[in-house]
């Protein structure tokens, strides 16, 4: 456990990739086989479900520390993280418990069928045997909310370098539906299970935002141009009579789209397709907010499937009849994809249309009108490009339309965590509605460190109410908020939901009287 705690701490205190790589390498030197496997499991989201509610942990921590409810609430407000607050307020440990990460995880998973008293006894005993930092990590693991402060690319590169492997192969190997207890760390990293897992997807090929004038890309004829859709990017795997649908977030979502699964089961051939899941009704792409209504449901009613029919726009072919096609040119993959669709006529899956254009000026005009089609802009893919892992500059570009923006006022603020736990970094914004303020979005990024400190000083001086770690503040600070899309929503008081909101700038030149009105904002919905 100590090696894992050192790893987490090292990843949290630096933004330098080289230092993160060194920290991962140190952990791999120190950890045993099972601990290293748990690193991959936690990183890829294969953590056990929460077996103890955070409310119980809070209650037990208050009892053990002997502090009052109000003092715990004040401490939580200051720290901003429940697990860290509990770790800090508990008395010094009475003993020293030495267990590996895998031993702790086995015990945590074993809590599933325990009584509340048995769970309490285990937690109190563990708290009494761990110093504050290890308690914090233990609480995170117990609550199922653990996050590693490292990108997938960094971890994959660290493993590839250490074991002298191709990074693409490593990325492929650690993705997929593998389970603890059924694989070994060495075997997983080396790809020993790739051929036996029918469901295994490939790492997604990603694009950079276009950072130059499009005409600087050369001859437009060398580029395949498509619309960039705002849905759920997925891989559709059909092998040996079984179908698996993976989201880009590496979640197996087959059960959420039964009509797509059933359609692909009827198709001839084995393949892996890259595409976008969208709600399309009467040949019109609906807003992403409509697609959200279909997600994460235990059951899908016939009525919902009829009202919100999902379709797939297919982008690419990654595998054909068991052969990896990612190294072939875009043109060759597209030709095979078109052949696949000719072989399997379908109403549920469609080819993503290639946009014909004679010159860059014509394409620029098309891009400006992309929002009318519920598109985010254009994708530019070099016709000779392979389907690489992650981002590789020069082959694929996303040329998005300019974001929509509104002016809104800050009304709630919450402190951050980790390095930012002393400052208010999580903000909720509101706009006008019939003379009142109504919340419209939360945003966490866009301000400089200096601006964050300035906002925090304002919050400390102008807080009106406290709700745990959240502060209601005097509505005076106006910010310009950018977002990629907007749709109607019954889950928000404003009646709308913004897609990917973020702060563009602090409008010190504006007052709260000049913020936008919700009725005008709704006119942006098409």
| pLDDT tens digits, 160-190 | 889 998 776 787 778 667 888 888 999 988 8
Residue 60 has pLDDT above 70, yes or no: yes
Across the chain, mean pLDDT equals 89
Please name the fold of domain 404-522.
OB fold (Dihydrolipoamide Acetyltransferase, E2P) (2.40.50)
- Split at pLDDT 50, 70, 90, the class of 502 is very high
| pLDDT tens digits, 303-358 | 999 999 999 999 999 999 999 999 999 999 999 999 999 999 998 999 999 999 99
Catalytic residue among 228, 238, 381, 432: 228
Architecture of domain 2-143: Orthogonal Bundle (1.10)
Residue 232 has pLDDT above 60, yes or no: yes
What is the mean predicted confidence (pLDDT) over 3-25? 85
Residue 103 has pLDDT above 70, yes or no: yes
State how beta strands 205-206 and 390-391 pair.
parallel
Tell me phi and psi for residue 395, to 5 degrees.
-95, -45
| Spatial separation of the C-alpha atoms in residues 324 and 134, rounded to whole Å | 44
* Whether residue 228 lies in the annotated active site: yes
| Spatial separation of the C-alpha atoms in residues 78 and 60, rounded to whole Å | 20
Same fold, 2-143 and 205-400: no
Residue 6 has pLDDT above 70, yes or no: yes
Helix (H) or strand (E) holding 383, with range, is none
Domain boundaries, the chain: 2-143, 205-400, 404-522
CA nearest neighbour of 485 among 501, 461, 504:
501
For domain 205-400, give the CATH superfamily. DNA ligase/mRNA capping enzyme (3.30.470.30)
**Residue 183, beta-bridge partner list:** none
What is the mean predicted confidence (pLDDT) over 491-501? 86
């Amino acid at each position: 456990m100590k090696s894992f705690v050192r790893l987490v701490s090292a990843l949290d205190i630096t933004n330098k990739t080289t230092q993160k790589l060194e920290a991962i390498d140190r952990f791999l030197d120190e950890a045993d086989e099972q601990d290293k496997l748990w690193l991959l499991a936690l990183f890829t989201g294969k953590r056990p479900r929460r077996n103890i509610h955070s409310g119980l942990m809070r209650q037990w921590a208050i009892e053990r520390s002997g502090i009052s409810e109000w003092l715990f609430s004040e401490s939580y407000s200051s720290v901003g993280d429940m697990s860290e607050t509990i770790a800090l307020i508990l008395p010094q440990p009475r003993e020293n418990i030495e267990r590996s990460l895998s031993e702790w995880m086995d015990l945590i998973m074993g809590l599933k069928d325990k009584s509340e008293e048995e769970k309490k006894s285990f937690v109190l005993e563990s708290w009494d045997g761990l110093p504050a930092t290890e308690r914090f990590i233990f609480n995170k693991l117990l609550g199922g909310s653990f996050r590693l402060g490292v990108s997938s690319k960094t971890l994959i590169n660290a493993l590839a370098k250490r074991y002298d492997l191709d990074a693409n192969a490593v990325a492929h190997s650690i993705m997929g539906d593998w389970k603890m207890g059924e694989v070994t760390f060495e075997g997983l990293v080396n790809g020993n299970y790739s051929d036996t897992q029918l469901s295994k997807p490939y790492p997604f090929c990603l694009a950079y935002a276009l950072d130059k004038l499009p005409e600087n890309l050369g001859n437009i004829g060398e580029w395949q141009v498509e619309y960039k859709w705002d849905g759920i990017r997925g891989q559709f795997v059909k092998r040996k009579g079984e179908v698996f649908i993976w989201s880009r977030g590496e979640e197996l979502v087959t059960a959420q789209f039964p009509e797509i699964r059933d359609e692909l089961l009827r198709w001839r051939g084995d393949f892996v397709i890259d595409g976008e899941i969208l709600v399309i009704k009467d040949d019109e792409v609906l807003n992403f907010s409509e697609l959200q209504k279909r997600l994460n449901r235990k059951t899908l009613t016939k009525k919902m499937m009829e009202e919100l029919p999902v379709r797939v726009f297919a982008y690419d072919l990654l595998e054909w009849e068991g052969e990896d096609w990612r190294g072939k040119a875009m043109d060759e993959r597209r030709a095979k994809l078109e052949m696949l669709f000719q072989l399997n006529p379908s109403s549920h899956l469609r080819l993503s249309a290639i946009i014909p254009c004679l010159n860059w000026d014509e394409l620029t005009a098309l891009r400006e009108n992309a929002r009318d089609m519920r598109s985010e802009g254009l994708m530019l893919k070099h016709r000779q490009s392979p389907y690489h892992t992650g981002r590789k500059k020069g082959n694929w570009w996303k040329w998005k339309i300019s974001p929509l923006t509104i002016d809104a006022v800050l009304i709630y603020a919450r402190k951050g965590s980790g390095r930012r736990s002393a400052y208010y970094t999580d903000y909720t914004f509101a706009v006008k509605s019939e003379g009142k303020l109504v919340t419209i979005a939360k945003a966490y990024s866009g301000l400089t460190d200096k601006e964050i400190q300035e906002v925090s000083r304002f919050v400390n001086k102008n807080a009106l109410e406290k709700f745990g770690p959240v502060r209601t503040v005097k509505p005076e600070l106006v910010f310009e908020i950018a977002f990629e899309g907007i749709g109607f929503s019954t889950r928000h008081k404003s009646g709308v939901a913004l897609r990917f909101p973020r702060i563009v700038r602090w409008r010190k030149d504006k007052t709260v009287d000049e913020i936008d009105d919700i009725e005008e904002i709704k006119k942006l919905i098409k």
